[in-house]
């Protein structure tokens, strides 16, 4: 699958961050980028659309990034969904919690094009999406 065929869901309650990540992904050749404001919206979109990768913020409501991840990992349909947590949380405890919850990778804000490119391509290759 080519990058332009990969469908990516970006989940963040801050519109400016969603748009920034979408633009960074477009710069990397990913043109099929969907946006969701929070985890509950993301769950609906995942059920209705064919998504290949989720990039989600940690701090959202009503469903945060870890709750969304746990839901996916407990679902037969989504348990192997590639998932990158995008967050400002950097404490050792938070990183360990995220890893134990089943994230595939972790990007710390502020975001850069290199972070997005490296992490997204590495995970999509690892999961044999591209």
**What predicted TM-score, i.e. pTM, was given to this entire model?**
0.94
Write the pLDDT tens digit of every residue in 24-72: 999 999 999 999 999 999 999 999 999 999 999 999 999 999 999 999 9
Domain containing 26 — which CATH number? 3.40.50.2300
* Structural domains in the chain (count): 1
Write the pLDDT tens digit of every residue in 81-94: 999 999 888 888 98
pLDDT at residue 88, as a whole number:
86
CA distance linking residue 75 with residue 60, whole number of Å: 21
Task: Please give the residue range of the domain that contains residue 46.
Answer: 3-126
CA distance linking residue 43 with residue 69, whole number of Å: 10
Instruction: Give 73-93 as a DSSP string.
Output: HT-TTTTT--EEEEES--SHH
Q: What counts of helices (H) and strands (E) characterise the chain?
A: 5, 5
């Amino acid at each position: 699958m080519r990058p332009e065929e990969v469908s990516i869901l970006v989940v963040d309650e801050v519109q400016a961050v969603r748009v920034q990540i979408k633009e960074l992904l477009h710069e990397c050749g990913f043109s099929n980028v969907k946006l969701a404001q929070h985890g509950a919206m993301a769950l609906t979109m995942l059920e209705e659309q064919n998504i290949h990768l989720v990039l989600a913020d940690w701090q959202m409501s009503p469903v945060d990034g870890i709750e969304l991840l746990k839901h996916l990992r407990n679902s037969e349909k989504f348990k192997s969904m590639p998932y990158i947590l995008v967050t400002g949380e950097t404490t050792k405890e938070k990183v360990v919690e995220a890893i134990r919850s089943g994230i595939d990778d972790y990007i710390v804000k502020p975001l850069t094009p290199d972070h997005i490119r490296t992490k997204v391509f590495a995970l999509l290759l690892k999961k044999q999406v591209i």
